[in-house]
Structure 1
Amino acid sequence: MKNLDPIIEQFLETLWQEHGLSKNTSASYRLDLESFSEWLPTPKAFLTLDHFDLQSFLGERLEQGYKVTSSARMLSCLRKFFRFLYTENYRQDDPTLTLTSPRKPAHLPKSLSEEQVMDLLDSPNTLDPVELRDKAMLELLYATGLRVSELVSLSIDNLSLRQGVVRVVGKGDKERLVPIGEEAGYWIQEFFRYGRAILLNNLQSDVVFPSRRGQQMTRQTFWHRIKHYAVLAGIDSEKLSPHVLRHAFATHLVNHGADLRVVQMLLGHSDLSTTQIYTHVAKARLKSLHQQFHPRG
């Protein structure tokens, strides 16, 4: 049994003492909160997470192959936990109030056109060390389709500029190698030459893209950075999600004829049906072009 944050232990104790949950139910809640804790960027990040962070967490579980029933149970657990944090004054809000039950996406994921992606990637001022880092991160995200959590935790040991690949360790210690392409490789090298040492300021870090404090950047921070550059690029940030470049990566590959199983492998999807949503994106794009340009569209 893993040691959890004292606040989480307090919550579990409260469930047992005040709500009389069975041992099996209590054990299930503990397992869910252990999984949730492993996902957190810092041990007490649950005190500052927002609605989008939690929706991203639940979405990632579906991508990793967890059943909808498992994710629904996780949501139930999180709702109880964050209600506890609110009533015990650990938080001033309950971010689970607007969360919806997780489902396999029947709708098309939000994506950007290739022109919008280019505008977004061109937004950072690469003369500034922080924005040079962001430029390299955005380029790598679009080049590889990494999840934001995989990007911010990417270690030096899992990046090979010489071979032009990143090594990603996913659920169940499953590994995948993803090519990074010349453009992303170039900007990572530029960041290593002119930005990383300045950000670290004599500190040591194993992550490729450290924060200004020399630590691993949080998902929330990078999401705010994406929204900042979206505004500069003239893109409505309200229409974005943290995985917008991951979706663009997959959509644009499919649009250009990439084999669906290759896209599945690159994204790290355990189930091909999860990847198949991007074929619908491509079909929707073709239908839109047909309506726009065909004489009888």
Structure 2
Amino acid sequence: MENHTITSEMKDSFIQYLIQEEKSRHTVEKYQRDLKKFTRFLGAREITKDLVIEYKKNLSERYAVSSVNSMLASLNHFLQFAGWYEFKVKQMKLQRQVYCPEEKELTREEYNRLVNTAKFMKKERIGLIIQTICSTGIRISELIYITVESVQSGIAYATGKGKSRQIFLPHKLRMLLMKYIRKNRISRGPVFLTKEGKPVNRSNVWKEMKALCATAKVLAVKVFPHNLRHLFARTYYRMEKDISKLADLLGHSSINTTRIYIVTSGTEHRQQIERMNLIL
């Protein structure tokens, strides 16, 4: 009878498999965390379909549906890798959100306050990082592709997962970045560097953004790099109403992912309902 125990060797092989698939470092780390969570639940037991279903139920009692589905996707990917197809489980059904909760959406006005606060506090680098992410829609991991060369040409090239896409830099952003480059005497390579001369990372940016919140009077829960990407998406879609083009700009392989980015706020949704004027 086949043994269905997850060994350390299997976990190591799975990570190497993900790396060979050219998954990003962030994605590989997420798969590791999710698999570790499942193995803790499993303990010394062998995998059975009943245990995987129990694990799914356990997750559903502790996490939001979207988080549960994300963790189940990681687990199913591992089970497929191991050849244990019979243990894979279905994701939970999630009704598509009609609007984004207001307490989570970063508004244009709040974005303006963050940028102005960075200027007021003389935090030039984080102010420019915020504007760069928001005006281009790039991921925080793609900030490294904003180089002296890309600022000069007006086009950055982001690569990952075997794909490459062009990122166009707005003229006003290029002017600001060129001024910053000259002031800091950056001759080539990534524009945004730490004091040690290394490219800034997710942790650096997150911490510096949070430090602006109190003075900017913006809830800290709204302030993180990915929310700037969402603001870019909503702003672009309101102007162009072209979801296919937006998906290309964001580097999404599925339009269903892009739809999540353009969900309007509860306030805007209520205003639209009021404008229908269907009460006599």
Cα separation, partners in 2 of 1:144 and 1:28, compared to 1, 3 Å = same
- Which residue of structure 1 aligns with residue 118 of structure 2? 124
What secondary structure sits across from 1:123 in the alignment?
helix
Q: Is 1:171 aligned to 2:161, yes or no?
A: yes
Cα deviation for residue 178 of structure 1 reads 1.7
Q: CA 1:112–1:238 in 2, change beyond 3 Å: closer, same or farther?
A: closer
Aligned partner letter, 1:169: T
Give SS of 1:185's match. helix
Aligned to 1:14: none
What per-residue deviation string (whole Å, max 9, x for no partner) do you get for residues 56-89 of structure 1? x45xx8xxxxxxxxx7x54433447999xxxxxx
Matched, 1:288 2:274: no
Cα distance in 2 between the residues matched to 1:75 and 1:150: 23
1:159 to 150, 154, 157: 150
CA displacement, residues 161-200 of structure 1 (integer Å, 9 cap, x when unaligned):
3x4222211221x111122212321221121122x23xx7
**Per the alignment, do residues 132 and 76 of structure 1 end up closer, same or farther by CA in structure 2, a change over 3 Å counting?**
closer
Give distance in 1, aligned partners of 2:40 and 2:206.
Answer: 22
Question: Structure 2 counterpart of 1:31, which letter?
Answer: Y
TM-score where L is the length of structure 1: 0.62
Q: Which residue of 2 aligns with 1:145?
A: 137
Note the C-alpha offset of 1:113.
Answer: 1.6
How far is the alpha carbon of 1:127 from its aligned partner?
8.6
Out of 205, 209, 219, the position equivalent to 1:236 is: 219
Q: CA deviation at 1:148?
A: 0.7
Summarize deviations over 1:108-158 as a string: whole Å, max 9, x none.
Answer: 484322111111222213794xx222222111111111111111x225266
Contact residue 264 and residue 275 of structure 1 kept, 8 A: yes
In the alignment, what sits opposite 1:8?
none
Higher radius of gyration, 1 or 2: 2
Q: 5+ residue gaps in structure 2? A: 42-61, 74-93
SS at match of 1:209: coil
Q: Is the 8 A contact 1:141 1:245 kept in 2?
A: yes
Structure 2 counterpart of 1:27, one-letter code: S
Q: What RMSD, in angstroms, separates the aligned Cα atoms of the two structures?
A: 3.9
Question: Percent identity of the aligned residues?
Answer: 20
Matched letter for residue 207 of structure 2: H
Which 5+ residue runs of structure 1 have no aligned equivalent? 1-18, 40-56, 62-70, 84-96
**Could you tell me how far 1:38 is from its partner in structure 2?**
6.0
